[in-house]
């Protein structure tokens, strides 16, 4: 690590993951170099143990996100964020290409995750970047549910009968608090924002087998402890895009996410949020201009981390763009 210098908008090398259900969209639509035809996930920004993102641009290139946190601390993430989370970056940012449906799963909340795994829980959200016709998500149950009824259907191999299937299209948003049963269906390209946690309890995997004929491990007992059986009233987040304005999508204790569609320069002042900011470019291209570093070009499929010490910047579309804006909100 070089001597401590002023921070700048940071890009990272994507961490690409081949999976049974992956496809070609990360390679062909988001232009991820090195992505295979079975690439299902691109971890854009990660500080998961064993998978810390590596800086791709500027004088910090080659250093990990974890190393940056050790040196820059609150300059990178903000005073309040550093006080709350310490030297572990609190969010995991991904693009997901589901060429086939994912397993039905659930994630623990902070209390259960700390008790069982000495880890944070996993609240997350999805933004549908691209959807094939009739693509679906699974979120929650399609009827009132309790643990005994759930186990009956699960043990009888009939769990598909009680799952709630929801058709989705490009631009749809789904918020998934820890404990909510879910799965991504086939034909979906998703931007995912989540807590830094890789804990997943697999409930059902459509009876799939791998190349050697083996099924994947299920986590029935842990999942039963984690599932929130309360009914879900609104699967999708309701919002109205407004050109050249910041529109709120999700506001929760773990992250705030907004969408910005713009065809003219947007000026941002982050002086009052006390947090880093992440941009995920969903459409088009843009340039980020700050007062501390050369302009940074951002294309569709790229993700940029704006350090907390950078309060003012300009977003300049080329000629239009759509981005997600993510940061940690202040807690009361």
Exposed / middle / buried, residue 332 (Cβ in 10 Å: 0-12, 13-18, 19+): exposed
- Active-site residue set: 202
Summarize the chain as % helix, strand, coil (round to 5): 15, 40, 45
pLDDT for residue 213: 81
Residue 322, number of CB atoms within 10 A of its CB: 19
Expressed in angstroms, the distance from the first to the final Cα of the chain is 36
Torsion 133-97-286-312 (CA) sign: positive
- At 157 the pLDDT is 93
| 196-to-40, 46, 118, 255 alpha-carbon distances in Å | 18, 7, 13, 11
Number of Cβ within a 10 Å radius of residue 84: 12
pLDDT of residue 216: 86
CA-nearest of 190, 183, 148, 147 to 166 is 183
Predicted confidence at residue 4, as pLDDT, reads: 66
Q: Over its length of 332 residues, how does the chain's per-residue pLDDT go in tens digits?
A: 445 688 999 999 999 999 989 999 999 999 999 999 999 999 999 999 999 999 999 999 999 999 999 999 999 999 999 999 999 999 999 999 999 999 999 999 999 999 999 999 999 999 999 999 999 999 999 999 999 999 999 999 999 999 999 999 999 999 999 999 999 999 999 999 999 999 999 999 998 887 788 888 899 999 999 999 999 989 999 999 999 999 999 999 999 999 999 999 999 999 999 999 999 999 999 999 998 899 999 999 999 999 999 999 999 999 999 999 999 998 76
Give helix then strand counts, H and E, for the chain: 7, 20
pLDDT at 211: 72
pLDDT, tens digit, 9 for 90 and up, residues 105-149: 999 999 999 999 999 999 999 999 999 999 999 999 999 999 999
What the block records as the tokens of 68 is 């940056």
Residues in Cβ contact with 213 at an 8 Å cutoff, skipping those fewer than 6 apart: none
Q: Which of 109, 168, 105 is nearest to 140 (CA)?
A: 105
pLDDT tens string 282-331: 999 999 999 889 999 999 999 999 999 999 999 999 999 999 999 999 87
Spatial distance between the Cα atoms of 116 and 161, rounded to a whole number of angstroms: 30
Q: Which residues contact 233 (CB under 8 A, 6 or more apart)?
A: none
Tally of CB atoms within 10 A around 156: 9
Spatial distance between the Cα atoms of 155 and 158, rounded to a whole number of angstroms: 8
């Amino acid at each position: 690590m070089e001597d401590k210098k002023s921070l700048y908008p940071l890009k990272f090398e994507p961490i690409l993951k081949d999976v049974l259900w992956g496809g070609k969209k990360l390679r062909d639509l988001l232009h991820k170099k090195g992505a295979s035809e079975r690439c299902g996930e691109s971890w854009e920004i990660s500080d998961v143990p064993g998978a810390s993102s590596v800086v791709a641009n500027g004088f910090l290139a080659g250093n990990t996100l974890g190393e940056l946190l050790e040196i820059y601390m609150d300059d990178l993430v903000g005073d309040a964020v550093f006080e709350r989370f310490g030297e572990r970056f609190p969010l995991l940012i991904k693009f997901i290409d589901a060429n086939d449906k994912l397993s039905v799963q659930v994630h623990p909340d902070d209390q259960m995750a700390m008790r069982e795994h000495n880890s944070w829980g996993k609240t997350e959200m999805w933004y549908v970047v691209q959807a094939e016709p009739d693509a679906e998500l699974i979120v929650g149950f399609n009827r009132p549910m309790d643990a005994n009824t759930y186990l009956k259907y699960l043990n009888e191999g009939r769990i598909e009968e009680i799952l709630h299937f929801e058709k989705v299209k490009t631009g749809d948003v789904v918020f998934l608090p820890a404990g909510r049963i879910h799965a991504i269906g086939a034909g979906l390209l998703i931007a995912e924002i989540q807590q830094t946690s890789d804990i997943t309890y697999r409930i059902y995997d459509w009876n799939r087998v791998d190349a050697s004929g083996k099924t994947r491990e299920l986590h029935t007992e842990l999942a039963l402890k984690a599932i929130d059986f309360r009914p879900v009233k609104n699967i999708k987040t309701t919002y109205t895009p407004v050109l050249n304005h910041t529109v709120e999508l999700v506001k929760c204790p773990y992250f705030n996410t907004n969408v910005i569609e713009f065809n003219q320069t947007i000026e941002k002042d982050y002086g009052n949020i006390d947090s880093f900011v992440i941009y995920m470019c969903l459409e088009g291209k843009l340039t980020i201009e700050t007062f501390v570093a050369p302009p940074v070009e951002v294309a569709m499929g790229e993700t940029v981390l704006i350090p907390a010490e950078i309060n003012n910047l300009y977003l300049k579309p080329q000629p239009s763009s759509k981005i997600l804006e993510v940061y940690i909100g202040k807690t009361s």
